[in-house]
Structure 1
Amino acid sequence: MTDQTRKRINFLQEFSIPLIAGVIMALIWANLTPESYNHFVHNKLFGNFSLHFFVNDIFMVFFFAMATVEITQSLLPGGDLNPLKRAISPIMATFGGVIGPVVIYLVLNHFMGSPDFLKGWGIPTATDIALAWLVARLVFGAYHPAVSFLLLLAIADDGIGLLIITLFYPDPLNPIAPVWLLFTLTGMLIAYFLRKKNVKNYWPYIIFGGTLSWIGLYLTGIHSSLALVFIVPFLPHPTKEQAGLFEDDPEDPDPSTLKEFEHDWKIFVDFGLLLFGLTNAGVQFSGISTVTWLVFFALVIGKTLGVFTMGSLSALIGFPLPKGMNHKDLFVAGLVASMGLTVALFVAGVAFTDPSLQGAAKMGALFSAGSVFLSFIASKLLRIQRKATEVSNTQHKQN
């Protein structure tokens, strides 16, 4: 691979161009020829499985796995969220980022909505990981501790969001069956055994542990895209993290199994997000109604205030924000987290069966992408200090 080609690939990855392109393509296609778009996304390819299934239930397994790699590294000694008490703050902020939108949605619905809108309370609870990751890097700089804070928050946020979908928006044809989680537990035990035997190749972990984890979640009725979240932490990794989040260590002659897995799959995931955007963001522009604004304000106001309030409370009771992150950064991080977009689109699809309500709710989810601009404006007004690569590397080595 030439240097020029590598630079182009890095540019596309850095700015999430494949994901953004997929979202734009989906919006155009779904509004110009909706029947053609729906056929492309939901037509059965193999048996009863559509392209939508393969993207959301199989490809996204590796997306969540990449995020789990970064979380695992950040929790190691020397990582951005170590010692463990530093992880308490983003976890508390996560709960604020779930509870805040629900409260705002229900309160606004009480005064200006309708009982018909109540089922939409779960739509604004999740954060779009990919876009939050991208915008956080642009607003704060790729090596600012707020990036790792937001990544952990977004992963936990979406985990809770998927749990909300499972518990409160169940598929009547596939009731929850917790007994099948024994498959996932068995997959974790296999991964643990492989780690104890010092197996360096990541494939046995993925094939045996990951497959069993996926089967367990799928049969249980929990979204199977989280399968490798339970396996990746068992991949052999160094006892101490030498590089920062999203950062390779060029001086490491013997990269760990965890790092090899990330290196081998990252390009696949980054470019595969084009298909994710294409199959999930196709929403027809329909009439804007009250439910549109319920979703939008619940995301932007509820998520921002929820993250800021609970993050501040955690610092007050003795669980500080990551080193180098202050309360101004926390507020802007809450704004970045308010982008529900694709995840909110998915929840809107299961929350409402009425096409008009579903379309209006999805419009609110799409409008939440406006938090990109609000985040940049807030960062300028609050004079957020970006951390460039060179500065971050120097600081990291000094620490």
Structure 2
Amino acid sequence: MTIPPVRGRIFSRPSWPEATALKAALRTETVGGALLLLAALLAIAWANSPWHESYAALRDLSVGVDWGHLKLTLGHWAADGLLAIFFFVAGLELKREFLVGDLRDPRRAAVPIVAAVCGVIVPAATYLIVTRATGGTGDALRGWAIPSATDIAFALAVLAVLGSHLPAALRAFLLTLAVVDDLIAIVIIAIGYTSDFAGMPLLLAVAPLAAFTFLVQRRITYPLLLVPLALLTWGLVHASGVHATVAGVLLGLVVPVRPRKGRMPAVSVHGPKTDVAHVFEHRLRPLSAALAVPVFAFFAAGVRVVGGGFGEAISDPVALGVMAGLVIGKVVGVFGGTYLTARFTKADLDPGLGWADVVGLSFLTGIGFTVSLLIGELAFGAGSDRDEHVKLAVLLGSLAAAGLAALVLVPRNARYRAAEAREEQDDDGDGIPDVYEYEQTR
């Protein structure tokens, strides 16, 4: 069969190893997105039921010890503790993508990186413009980063429903963009939302982090050795005032993503060709998607909208800025960054794709949930009036973004059914689609 070359194209299909890894990640994230949606709906239903006081009491129940600021409410444990698992997996993804994934190739990395950066800057600018224009001043400006984050699990779950036959390149682009988006969000949280900083606990955290690094670099992956070190690192980072999820990222970034060359130590529980990051990701991604993120969503999404106050909430300049950032800022930033990159590099879309597909995908990036809610809590304080307004705005903005994406992507989905069959053609019967074999030899 004849397959056209793909040089100078954007949204070209990923390499075969990358496509294999993406398929595994997409399956887990799609299921996780469905669980996330169920958890959020349950929280909203409970918070607006006659038993809403029991929901608030459960969320605000304090558990833990006084040492190191470790007596937290269940809501805080979900945000500071369970989300550290989510960010640990994000750290693994970041390192893998930039060292052995497609992001190591500047040609492939340019478009998602530029799109992700623009998809952070433009929504933040939109938030500031709208907030100031509607009378927001002072602490209202602290929420500038809320609409900058994309919830990849939620977005992929919506994409799975709307675009089951959309090209793999679009899904790969969304997941790759989200990796860069996560990196930017991590930096924003670490720098922009650190309060009551204490240097000594952060300095002490270097010791268990170094020990964790020493063990994983030598492929020593016994949980009884690594888990206590990870927990101690997390606890010290939390005590320092830096958001504890940053500890998860740091732990993920020190895990090796390439098999070690040469002879392995006898205490290793894996073979010499083991990709330790892959092992950890295989174990922890389902835990993150099925437990950590849904539980956080359950405690974070329970905004009360009945009994008055709805009009006040959506008229808050902060809420207006968040909704505008998610619905307008995201699509302008992601689509604009992609289009300008193509224009200035003289690259073309992959054959069979249209700019309408990119518009639909850009709307999907406006689905902000997990990290948006987390930044809202950090900016305005969990349980505050402004935090409640942010929750409602994130929910409404994400719903609007998903609806607009559906208007674009559902009509586009039908045309790709026949193309999908050709995409999977394997004339030589070796189990690898011919399109990937061609690109490996080009």
Report TM bin, short chain: 0.7 to 0.9
- Equivalent residue for 1:373, pick from 394, 403, 422: 403
Q: Is the 8 A contact 1:90 1:152 kept in 2?
A: yes
From the superposition, tell whether residues 283 and 21 of structure 1 become closer, same or farther in structure 2 (CA, over 3 Å): same
Tell me the distance in 2 between the aligned counterparts of 1:123 and 1:255. Answer: 38
Counterpart of 1:4? none
The Cα RMSD (Å) is: 3.9
From the superposition, tell whether residues 327 and 25 of structure 1 become closer, same or farther in structure 2 (CA, over 3 Å): same
Give the 5 Å matches for 1:3-22: 14=31, 16-22=33-39
Query: Residue 362 in 1 paired to residue 391 in 2?
Result: yes
TM-score normalised over the length of structure 1: 0.77
Of structures 1 and 2, the larger Rg is shown by 2
Shift of 1:26: 0.5
Shift of 1:281: 0.8
Tell me the distance in 2 between the aligned counterparts of 1:200 and 1:320. Answer: 45
Q: Could you list the per-position Cα deviations for residues 251-309 of structure 1 after superposition, in whole angstroms to 9, with x for gaps in the alignment?
A: x9976332322232333223203322211111111323333333211211001111222
Q: Which moved more, 1:328-337 or 1:185-194?
A: 185-194
Q: Could you list the per-position Cα deviations for residues 301-327 of structure 1 after superposition, in whole angstroms to 9, with x for gaps in the alignment?
A: 001111222233344455979988875
Query: Residue 176 in 1 paired to residue 194 in 2?
Result: no
Q: Could you list the per-position Cα deviations for residues 176-235 of structure 1 after superposition, in whole angstroms to 9, with x for gaps in the alignment?
A: 2456544555555445533553x2536378436634542453233222223232333443
Q: Could you list the per-position Cα deviations for residues 341-389 of structure 1 after superposition, in whole angstroms to 9, with x for gaps in the alignment?
A: 3433333344446955443332211112222222122224556858869
From the superposition, tell whether residues 20 and 305 of structure 1 become closer, same or farther in structure 2 (CA, over 3 Å): same
Shift of 1:24: 0.8
Counterpart of 2:169? 145
Counterpart of 1:115? 137
Shift of 1:52: 1.9
Secondary structure of residue in 1 paired with 2:331: helix
Amino acid at match of 2:40: V
Amino acid at match of 1:53: H
Counterpart of 2:265? none
Shift of 1:23: 0.5
Query: Residue 301 in 1 paired to residue 323 in 2?
Result: no
Structure 1 stretches of 5 or more lacking a match? Answer: 1-9, 241-251
Q: Could you list the per-position Cα deviations for residues 61-116 of structure 1 after superposition, in whole angstroms to 9, with x for gaps in the alignment?
A: 22223344444444455x44341453343232222122111221222234333436
Question: In the comparison of the two structures, how many residue pairs are matched?
Answer: 374
Counterpart of 1:312? 339
Counterpart of 2:215? 194
Query: Residue 282 in 1 paired to residue 299 in 2?
Result: no
Tell me the distance in 2 between the aligned counterparts of 1:132 and 1:255. Answer: 31
From the superposition, tell whether residues 308 and 255 of structure 1 become closer, same or farther in structure 2 (CA, over 3 Å): same
Q: Which moved more, 1:336-345 or 1:38-47?
A: 336-345
Q: Is the 8 A contact 2:43 2:298 kept in 1?
A: yes
Secondary structure of residue in 2 paired with 1:16: helix
From the superposition, tell whether residues 208 and 377 of structure 1 become closer, same or farther in structure 2 (CA, over 3 Å): same
Amino acid at match of 1:261: F
- Equivalent residue for 2:376, pick from 348, 363, 368: 348
Tell me the distance in 2 between the aligned counterparts of 1:264 and 1:118. Answer: 39
From the superposition, tell whether residues 129 and 224 of structure 1 become closer, same or farther in structure 2 (CA, over 3 Å): farther
Secondary structure of residue in 2 paired with 1:231: helix
